[in-house]
């Protein structure tokens, strides 16, 4: 095993692994526990974390998937108040994420895991301090309106043209050249299980 401080990593040589240093995450602890490993022993899976997270959303495990995304948001925005992030979440009786308001939280960055989010209706990210979006952002599926207005965006990731929005996209109040805004696919199908 590879020893890193008090963490022992057992990595099968045939697997391609991505190791993120600098913090111990609850997600890693849950993965270790589920695999029957101790708190300081991590077996890295061959399947990428993003793929696993997409499967959670697609399977309808929206609460668990949202918990993982929230953990990643907090890691990139250490001064952000977790209860305020959670207050913006609205699930239906089946646990499907209906809407999520992340407006006016002072967010400066979104994690790559954010591109896996599935929202049946509206997703609000307005009035934050976002200057960039993660490359995965185009993987979002929003059944209603996506609001990004009032941030500091000057460019959009290449994946933005794959974005699926059901009703509308609001990007005003940024430094974007709107005539160059890429085509965003609109659909009236609601994401979910």
3 state SS for the chain: CEEECCEEEECCCCCCCCCCCCCCCHHHHHHHHHCCCCCCEEECCCCCHHHHHHHHHHCCCHHHHHHHHHHHHHHHCCCCCHHHHHHCEEECCCCCEEEEECCCCCCCCCCHHHHHCEECCCEECCCCCCCCCCHHHHHCEECCEEECCCCCCCCCCHHHHHCEECCEEECCCCCCCHHHCCCCEECCCCCCC
pLDDT of residue 82: 96
Give the largest Cα separation in the chain, rounded: 54
Of 104, 155, 106, nearest to 134 by C-alpha is: 155
What is the pTM for the complete model shown? 0.70
Query: What's the CA gap between 128 and 140, in Å, rounded?
Result: 18
**How far apart, in Å, do the first and last CA atoms of the chain sit?**
39
**Inter-residue contact 175 to 156 (CB < 8 Å):** no
Burial of 22 (0-12, 13-18, 19+ CB in 10 A): exposed
Query: What's the CA gap between 147 and 162, in Å, rounded?
Result: 16
Residue by residue, pLDDT tens for the chain (193 residues) are 433 344 444 433 333 233 333 333 454 445 444 444 444 333 333 335 677 888 899 999 999 999 999 999 999 999 999 999 999 999 999 999 999 999 999 999 999 999 999 999 999 999 999 999 999 999 999 999 999 999 999 889 999 888 889 988 998 899 886 554 544 554 444 344 4
């Amino acid at each position: 095993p590879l020893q890193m401080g008090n963490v022992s990593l057992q990595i099968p040589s045939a697997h391609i692994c991505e190791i993120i240093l600098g913090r111990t995450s609850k997600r890693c602890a849950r993965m270790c526990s589920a695999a029957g490993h101790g708190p300081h022993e991590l077996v890295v899976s061959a399947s990428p974390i993003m793929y696993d997270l997409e499967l959670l959303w697609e399977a309808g495990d929206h609460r668990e998937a949202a918990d993982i995304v929230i953990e990643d948001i907090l890691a990139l925005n250490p001064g952000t108040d977790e209860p305020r992030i959670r207050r913006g979440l609205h699930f239906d009786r089946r646990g499907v994420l209906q809407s999520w308001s992340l407006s006016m939280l002072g967010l400066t960055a979104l994690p790559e895991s954010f591109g896996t989010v599935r929202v049946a209706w509206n997703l609000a990210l307005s009035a934050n301090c976002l200057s960039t979006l993660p490359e995965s952002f185009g993987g979002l599926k929003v059944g209603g309106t996506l609001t990004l207005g009032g941030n500091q965006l000057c460019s959009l990731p290449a994946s933005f043209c794959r974005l699926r929005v059901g009703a509308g996209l609001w990007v005003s109040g940024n430094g974007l050249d709107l005539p160059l805004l890429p085509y965003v696919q609109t659909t009236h199908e609601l994401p979910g299980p």
